[in-house]
Amino acid sequence: MPNTLPSGVKLQPLRTHNDHRGAFTEIFRENWNAGVAPVQWNVVTSEPGVLRGVHVHHTHDDYLLISHGRAQIGLQDLRRGSPTEGLAAVVEMRGDAMEALTIPRGVAHGFYFIEPSMHIYAVSHYWNEEDELGCAWNDPALDIPWTPEIPILSERDRNAGSLAEMMRRLEPYQPVRSWALPEKTFA
């Protein structure tokens, strides 16, 4: 886990119980107080070299894990007034060492898949196109220290504008007040 993450971003190890039949991992419990009350769960598979994002949401929070494979999750705190405003970080997650990552609204994020991967994620509000703002993954102003060189992108992500444009679209929702999530950690 990186030393410093944007405020409210939580990375918690999950306990996997292995035996001769396979493995069992609890991925979410309401009493863990993960900072997200899920209303929708999604499963996504990605090929090596795929980069999804960079996106930011002004309404919903994300809760995710890599169930198979390996990915780098690039983050930058875009919440005006947040204690970690502007902080950029990368979290590497692996299916063979499951962890759960909470990404609060207002924290930009992208997913770069290093090998064939599957990730499972929950959102606190139903998907809405108006809550899906994006920018170019390699905008120098993002300052995300990740490793993609020439990633495989969706048409939407390939044509995404600058971080400055995304910030203008986020402005009506500022300050995004999501850094005051409860400090209680997973049990």
Instruction: Give the model confidence (pLDDT) of 31-51 as tens digits.
Output: 888 888 999 999 999 999 999
Statement: residue 177 has pLDDT above 80:
no
Q: Provide mean pLDDT across the span 4-19.
A: 92
Q: Strand, coil or helix: what is 129?
A: helix
Statement: residue 18 has pLDDT above 60:
yes
Residue 159 is predicted with a pLDDT of: 97
- Structural tokens at position 56: 């930011």
Give, for 51, the enclosing helix (H) or strand (E).
strand 51-56
The pTM of the full predicted model, rounded to 2 decimals, is: 0.90
- Averaged confidence pLDDT in the chain: 91
Q: What is the pLDDT of residues 110-141, one digit of tens each?
A: 999 999 999 999 999 998 989 999 999 999 99
Place of tokens 């090596």: 48
Statement: residue 7 has pLDDT above 70:
yes
Residue 34 is predicted with a pLDDT of: 87
Distances (CA, A) of 149 to 49, 70, 107: 9, 17, 23
Tell me the CB-side half-sphere exposure of residue 51, using CA atoms within 13 A.
Answer: 25
Q: What is the pLDDT of residues 54-109, one digit of tens each?
A: 999 999 999 999 999 999 999 999 999 999 999 999 999 999 999 999 999 999 99
> Tell me, which fold does domain 10-173 have in CATH?
Jelly Rolls (2.60.120)
Place of tokens 């609890």: 26
Residue 35 is predicted with a pLDDT of: 84
Residue 32 is predicted with a pLDDT of: 86
pLDDT band, very low/low/confident/very high, at 178 (cuts 50, 70, 90): low
DSSP 181: -
| Residue bearing the bigger pLDDT, 129 or 168 | 168
